[in-house]
Amino acid sequence: MGGITSTGLFSGIDSASLIEQLLAVEARPRTLAQARIAQLQTQQAAYLDINSRLSAFASSAAAFRTGNVFDTKTAASSDDSVLGATASTGAQEGSYSFLVDRLVSTRQLLSKGFSDLNTGAFGASEFRFEDRNARLDRDAELSELNGGAGVQRGTIRITDRDGNTADVDLSRAGTVNEVLDAINDTAGLNISATVVDNAIYLNDSSTGAGSISVTNLDDNTTAEDLGLATDTDGGTAAVLEGSQIWSVTASTALDQLNDGRGVGLTDLTGSGAADLVFDIGGEIINVNLGQLQIDDDGDDETPPVDVPRVTTLGGAIDRINQAIADKAAEDGATFDGQVEARLAADGLSIEVVDLSGARDIAVTSGTRSTAARDLGLDGDGTGGTLAGSRLIAGLNSTLLSSLGGRDGLTLSGTLDFTTSDGILSSVDVSNLTSVSELVQAVNTGTGGRVVASLNETGTGLQFTDTTEDSAATFSVAGAAASQLSLGASSDGVIDSGNLQKAYIGEGSLLANLNAGKGLGTGTIEFVTSTGERFEINITENDRTIGDIINKIEVAGDSRGIDAQINANGDGIDIIDNAGGSLAISIADTSGNVASLLGLEGEFDAAETGPTTVTGSFERVVTFDADDTLEDAVRKINEAGVQATATIINDGSNANPYRISIVSRESGKDGRFVFDSGGFDLGLQSLDEGNDARVFFGSSDPAKAVLLTSSSNTLDEAIQGVTIDLKQASDDVINLTVTKTTAEVESTVEGFVDAFNELIDRIDFQTRFISETEERGPLIGDSTSQLLRGRVFAAIQGTAQDIDGRYQRLSDVGIRIGDGGRLTFDRDQFRDALSEDPDAVEALLAEREVTDVDTTIELEGGVTVSNPDGGEVFGALGLPALIEQLAEGYTDSIDGLFTIRSNAIDTQIESQEGRIDSINLRLEQRRSVLQGQFLAMEQAIASLQTQQASLGQIQSIG
């Protein structure tokens, strides 16, 4: 069966073809409209092309002022293999000298060898990793001594009692221990150097009749600055006792007090809010050390002045004295001018004194503040004086009050040592304040029979019996012994274990935590045991641990949540008093503050009583009884502790497998504390971890400035210059920072190329090639031709209101060359830049713009439009003039190209409307024609039927 066709069954006419032919004739206007749309779209694309090139040209012009190309600097090193550098636009031009003394190194420990890797049990139960601040010692920077005045480095000459003389070069020393090591390593002297409390002592082991003397060589004050400058010790004493070089001053930062725990402050203000509450003879005075708002003039219309939080000891003393003066002025108190806070004569504390001697003085901390305790003023003073407690430990030491965790330790009574030879030595420790004093007291008080020192981890004390009678027991008793967890030993050594030095307090700076990287910012979500949720947001304005605690307490107060320093003084406790039974959750929703504080996770809630979540900077890695060496290393690395572990195969036959433990952080900040829990790892220290050290400004280290860094990069040594240290060298490296023309020249080249590309595209879009009669879509277009002429005129014109010798681009080597293309004469440009750089910069980068109000307010509050409002231009370089010209064409609202494109859109819409109308008419015409052909077929069919009937009648007749 054949398919259906458009051929008439009765007429045999192909009506569909005839209809299409008829409609095609009537559709000629639609074809013309479609062709017009195509033409308009081509023109619109051409405008878009030119607009894009013009925008690029404007951007290349703006680059002269926005890219700071005239301020571009380059840093050239005399030896890139030792020191490299890059300079930003803000770098100061000049020549600088550096002596790279050492590169940064990283703390690394290596264990003894083990025979088995992954089958037998490793044997350890737990490892503990902790911040270096957990140690009971430190190595003070020389810059910290003498109240922050530091030490001038140089060479000193030491003479012992036998008359032996040696010169000790301290020109490269940066810390107290480096001074001690340099003296103790000097050959030919009977001298050993130690630290005693706040001074350096020189001990002479000879029996000579002379005296110990220390003098300076060359033009320096090193001996005086170290407290050792003397020509005699007053006789033949075996010890030269240096003068005090470690103290607090008014400029001492609060965060340096209390072994770095600082002073806990609050920014709370208002009635009753205070950091310190003084009771002076019954007069109550509140002292705020946090941020204040002070209304100096009493004028309600003038906003109060923001006074920042106190950051120095002198600032705290000033606030106290100001509050006392304000109280006297307000109430007419009788102590006006008679009571003052001041630094104590010992240089280690502050005191509050009533000069009349008549009033008792008491101080307590205010709400959410620990300032009284942290400033050593928490207590009572009678007879007109409140003497504060010690604020800093002995040199390189730790306060005894920092031991025992958050609540501190106050030793009382004696340490009663019974050495293995049966002799009892009692040492009174009740008035001691620092670990170094305790060590000195034991070593002196026992006559050397017992040697006190730090234990292996540096977190506790070790006492060694030197009488060497291994058959008897060595023991220590007394009230202080139990406080220090001391007892008896059969091997001649008594170890206190970890004495839990508190190194986190309310005043601890967040920036100093996490190996000096800080905690960053972020949001912490808390879910209480009753299921209630709340968040706190840690911002850049939060400076201390106390700020975080305060935010938790303020937000959690109504929800049964408290926060405090934990018992060990190494983190934060979160206490849930809500009494629910749900799991407590603490999570970082942004940042990782909770994680770094060791608080993140879900914790079981007690059904009754409070539940405490303890965050700590101490990290513990626990091992199962069947864990292998591989398991142990994996667990260390998964625990996120301060170090990473790797198994090393040294190739030996017996015990080839060693554990290498390397700090995650380089330099001194990465000197983690490691405690193996008594498991014998046979550790040796391959590297303690040292900061990079560079001497800046002189070829003589004694005269240079000492710079240190926890990486091999110096970012702040010279403003705007990043310095990369590559290797140590005894040679001075000269670094020269100069302006460079490379960026300016590159910008000029980009400007020239952008101009030529713009002109090329205009010429292409408006082209007419007579040989082929090829025409561009914008041939004869006045908008494009006008733009071309205006751009050429601008390039060859003069700047607007520019002072200087260069007024045209051609003056500096930028001119129209052959073929109407812009060219760049690099030599002429460099000459111009060399002769008058300011004039070149003004020609290419000047752009003065003033914003004038677009409205004018008349009398009576009537506002009218200002016809002269908006941007008012003053001096304009040529690129700035080109920017203005381009904006007139490219502006997205009223630019000429925008207007032209919108007009084309309107024409296209008109043609599309016309096409829709034609299509509708053609469809209607199609329906008419189809009806007519159908009627014709029906008529033919009818006629054929009639004809057939007539034929039948005719055949009958």
DSSP state of 234: S
4 pLDDT more than 50: no
368 conformational bin, left if phi > 0, alpha if psi -120 to 50, beta if neither: left
- d(CA 391, CA 433) in angstroms, rounded, equals 10
Is residue 196 within 8 A of residue 246, CB to CB? The reply is no
Comparing CA positions, the residue from 589, 547, 704, 660 lying closest to residue 153 is: 704
pLDDT for res 608: 67
Is residue 761 within 8 A of residue 788, CB to CB? The reply is no
333 pLDDT more than 60: yes
| pLDDT tens digits for range 791-837 | 999 999 998 888 889 999 999 999 999 888 999 999 999 999 989 99
pLDDT for res 810: 93
pLDDT for res 775: 87
Q: How much is the pTM?
A: 0.80
| pLDDT tens digits for range 162-186 | 999 999 999 999 999 999 999 999 9
pLDDT for res 845: 87
Q: Residue range 78-92: average pLDDT?
A: 93
pLDDT for res 198: 93
233 pLDDT more than 50: no
Which residues lie below 8 Å from residue 326, measured CB to CB, with a gap of 6+? none
Sheet strands (E) in 138-255: 155-159, 165-169, 191-196, 199-204, 213-216, 239-241
pLDDT for res 295: 62
- d(CA 222, CA 225) in angstroms, rounded, equals 5
How many other C-beta atoms can be found within 10 angstroms of the C-beta atom of residue 625?
8
pLDDT for res 854: 63
How many other C-beta atoms can be found within 10 angstroms of the C-beta atom of residue 386?
24
> Using 50, 70 and 90 to split pLDDT, how confident is the model at 877?
confident
Q: Residue range 237-243: average pLDDT?
A: 89
Is residue 629 within 8 A of residue 657, CB to CB? The reply is yes
Give the CA count within 13 Å in the CB-facing half-sphere of 758.
29
Comparing CA positions, the residue from 382, 389, 433, 437 lying closest to residue 411 is: 433
Q: Residue range 863-878: average pLDDT?
A: 73
Is residue 721 within 8 A of residue 88, CB to CB? The reply is yes
- d(CA 345, CA 351) in angstroms, rounded, equals 9
How many other C-beta atoms can be found within 10 angstroms of the C-beta atom of residue 410?
15
Q: Residue range 452-478: average pLDDT?
A: 89
pLDDT for res 253: 94
HEC letters along 491-519? CCEEECCCCCCCCCCCCCEHHHHHHHCCC
- d(CA 474, CA 463) in angstroms, rounded, equals 10
Comparing CA positions, the residue from 220, 212, 219 lying closest to residue 189 is: 212
Q: Residue range 682-701: average pLDDT?
A: 95
Residue 568: C-alpha distances to residues 259, 369, 617 (Å)? 15, 19, 10
1 pLDDT more than 70: no
Q: Residue range 918-927: average pLDDT?
A: 82
Q: Which residues of 471-482 are buried (b: 16+ CB within 10 A; e: fewer)?
A: eeebbbbbebbe
| pLDDT tens digits for range 114-139 | 999 999 999 999 999 999 999 999 99
**Structure-model confidence comparison of residues 75 and 299, the more confident one:** 75
- d(CA 685, CA 696) in angstroms, rounded, equals 31
- d(CA 830, CA 737) in angstroms, rounded, equals 19
Which residues lie below 8 Å from residue 434, measured CB to CB, with a gap of 6+? 197, 390, 393, 394, 397, 398, 399, 400
pLDDT for res 871: 64
> Using 50, 70 and 90 to split pLDDT, how confident is the model at 234?
very low
778 pLDDT more than 80: yes
Beta-bridge partners for 525? 535, 587
Is residue 50 within 8 A of residue 897, CB to CB? The reply is yes
Least confident of 76-80, 178-182, 507-511, 887-891: 887-891
HEC letters along 74-133? EEEECCCCCEEEEECCCCCCEEEEEEEEECCCCCEEECCCECCCCCCCCCCCEEEEECHH
| pLDDT tens digits for range 281-317 | 888 999 999 887 666 555 555 566 778 899 999 999 9
- Position 132, amino acid: R
| pLDDT tens digits for range 603-659 | 988 766 789 999 999 999 999 999 999 999 999 999 999 999 999 999 998 899 999
Beta-bridge partners for 570? none
Least confident of 452-461, 840-849, 865-874, 906-915: 865-874
pLDDT for res 232: 43
**Structure-model confidence comparison of residues 331 and 289, the more confident one:** 289
- Position 442, amino acid: V
598 pLDDT more than 70: yes
- d(CA 712, CA 398) in angstroms, rounded, equals 30
Q: Across all residues in the chain, what is the average pLDDT?
A: 89
Q: What angle do CA 465, 469, 470 make, to 5 degrees?
A: 90
| pLDDT tens digits for range 744-773 | 999 999 999 999 999 999 899 888 888 888
pLDDT for res 242: 93
